[in-house]
Amino acid sequence: MTTIRIRFPQGEFAALRQRLLSDPTQESFALLFGQCHQVGDQTLIKVVGVCHPAAEDYDSQGLAHLRLKRDYVYARLVEMQQRGDVDTLIDVHTHPFSSHGVAFSGVDDRDEITFRQWLTGTLDNIHYASIVLSQSDYAARLWASDGERAVAQPVVIKTQTVLENWPCADAPAALAAPLAALDPQQGFLARSVLALGLDNLRRMTHDQCIAIVGVGGLGSVIAENLVHSGFHHLQLIDHDHVEMTNLNRIVGAYARDAEAKRLKVEVVSEHLAQINPNARIDAHPCGINDECLLPALAQADWIVLATDNHASRFQTQAIALRFGIPLLSVGTNISVSDGQITDMSGEVIIARAGDKLCLNCLGRVAPTQIAAESIDGLGAELARRGYVSGRDVKEPAVKTLNAMLGALAVDALVNQYIERQPHVPVLVYENNGLPCLYPDTESVAQRRKDCFHCG
């Protein structure tokens, strides 16, 4: 069965609801522009623009009806064609008279079928979806063809953070996790429930998929922390094998795994299954450039980036931006000179779609390094000319720094679900002199505001 999702940028769905539902005495309307991606059996529509008609753009508007002027609709279609970056039109309207259990009316069905027929007959390769909002929930659908008949397929709306979610009227009530896990006395998550609250645990564990790109010394710690925190569905992505030099930091790896050159994703998956046999852990032993990964990444609610090279970080972020998935990037650094540590630090970056912030505008990925790591033979030549450094040199790594940053990353992710603390886009940890933790407001303020990738 095809899964269809509409993904909103950060804050956009809440703002849309607030504006359209502000007047309970009359229906309101908005048009959304979107980009449609077909990934395996999944259809993803990323919202990239919102248009609100002015009062004069309505022919009529009341408690149970509205009608837009044709000129307004035509103008939006022209705008859509001129943009060139959108292929999906989504209309949104309200049923302010409905307190809950909203549904499309027979009038909605008739009008949308007629409009879709005109739209597809007028423009090529255009998708059409619709959303209806009540005061408490929503219903959404994507129109398709079954021969000559128009068919409405159900759609799930995804927001950057669960706290912005709005209930789907068509979705059955579901528990966050197996009841045994939430048992306040003996459940696997009993102590977490006491700390975070039952509602928060339900938000974190129900229908949430976290993809981790890179499960070495840093990614494996993050994966273990996520399972301990109650997340029930992880995608582990790494093509590498366990080596003896990895054993000082990879969680769940043993000498026998290194001797057998086992895949990191297999070793870490087995370890996580020992912690929570009910968790779904999907192992993908391939690199981030492998097209077979796209269906797994497309269903993720968050992508955690824990690789140690620029090329994989750039590619992972490109996928997150393409599909509108929030990205959490984690990195560490240890610098040694003359046998002495001169720097031990790391950072956690949260880049949600719509925040206009990414690794590129923050200067965290370097084009020269990407080229050196991506093109055979070029890295050695660039190193010889002095454009890049550290080629084929193993970087120092210790478990303590990975453990600190891994826990910090998961804590920052959990905060996206419970909002116990204010959102911090870039958080830095330094262990030089005395350990300290601080928000990197300077990098955020000085980032490129005209960034091609996220702007």
Indicate the residue among 99, 133, 164 that finishes a domain.
164
Q: Are 227 and 292 part of one and the same domain? A: yes
DSSP state of 9: P
Q: Are 43 and 112 part of one and the same domain? A: yes
Q: Are 357 and 410 part of one and the same domain? A: yes
pLDDT of residue 352: 98
Q: Are 129 and 247 part of one and the same domain? A: no
Q: Are 18 and 129 part of one and the same domain? A: yes
> Comparing C-alpha atoms, which of 2, 87, 69, 68 is closest to residue 29?
68
Provide the number of structural domains found in the chain: 2
Q: Are 86 and 155 part of one and the same domain? A: yes
User: Is there a domain that residue 386 lies in?
Assistant: no
Per-residue pLDDT of the chain (455 residues), as tens digits, is 579 999 999 999 999 999 999 999 999 999 999 999 999 999 999 999 999 999 999 999 988 889 999 999 999 999 998 988 999 999 999 999 888 889 999 999 999 999 999 998 888 889 999 999 999 999 999 999 887 788 999 999 999 999 999 999 987 655 445 556 767 677 888 888 888 888 888 888 888 999 999 999 999 999 999 999 999 999 999 999 999 999 999 999 999 999 999 999 999 999 999 999 999 999 999 999 999 999 999 999 999 999 989 999 999 999 999 999 999 999 999 999 998 999 999 999 999 999 999 999 999 998 777 766 666 544 444 344 444 354 455 678 899 999 999 999 999 999 999 999 999 999 999 999 999 999 999 999 999 999 999 98
Q: Quick one: angle between helices 310-323 and 367-374, nearest 10?
A: 110
Domain that holds residue 50: 3-164
Q: Are 272 and 407 part of one and the same domain? A: yes
Q: Are 31 and 154 part of one and the same domain? A: yes
Residue with tokens 């069905």: 109
**Virtual CA dihedral for 9, 282, 309, 431, nearest 10 degrees?**
80
Q: Are 281 and 151 part of one and the same domain? A: no
Instruction: List C-alpha distances in Å: 234 to 62, 83, 86, 226, 231.
Output: 47, 37, 31, 8, 7
Domain containing residue 429: CATH number: 3.40.50.720
Task: List 145's β-bridge partners, or say none.
Answer: 150
Task: List 5's β-bridge partners, or say none.
Answer: 44, 156
Q: Are 263 and 330 part of one and the same domain? A: yes
Residue with tokens 């259990």: 101
Domain containing residue 27: CATH number: 3.40.140.10
User: Is there a domain that residue 56 lies in?
Assistant: yes
Q: Are 155 and 60 part of one and the same domain? A: yes
DSSP state of 299: T
User: Is there a domain that residue 250 lies in?
Assistant: yes
DSSP string, 141-153: EEEEEETTEEEEE
Q: What pTM was estimated for this model as a whole?
A: 0.92
Three-state SS annotation for 306-340 = CCCCHHHHHHHHHHHHHHCCCEEEEEEEEEEECCE
User: Is there a domain that residue 380 lies in?
Assistant: no
Indicate the residue among 145, 164, 183 that finishes a domain.
164
> Comparing C-alpha atoms, which of 81, 84, 91 is closest to residue 123?
81
The answer to whether residues 242 and 261 touch, using CB atoms and an 8 Å cutoff, is: yes
> Comparing C-alpha atoms, which of 116, 62, 71 is closest to residue 94?
62
User: Is there a domain that residue 375 lies in?
Assistant: no
User: Is there a domain that residue 407 lies in?
Assistant: yes
User: Is there a domain that residue 177 lies in?
Assistant: no
The span from the first CA to the last CA of the chain, in angstroms, equals 34
DSSP string, 38-99: EETTEEEEEEEEEE---GGGEEEEETTEEEE-HHHHHHHHHHHHHH-S--EEEEEEE-TT-S
Helix (H, G, I), strand (E, B) or coil at 376: coil
Indicate the residue among 136, 164, 192 that finishes a domain.
164
Q: Are 227 and 114 part of one and the same domain? A: no
**The sheet that has 3-7: what strands, in order across it?**
149-154, 138-146, 127-133, 88-94, 29-39, 42-51, 3-7, 156-158
User: Is there a domain that residue 180 lies in?
Assistant: no
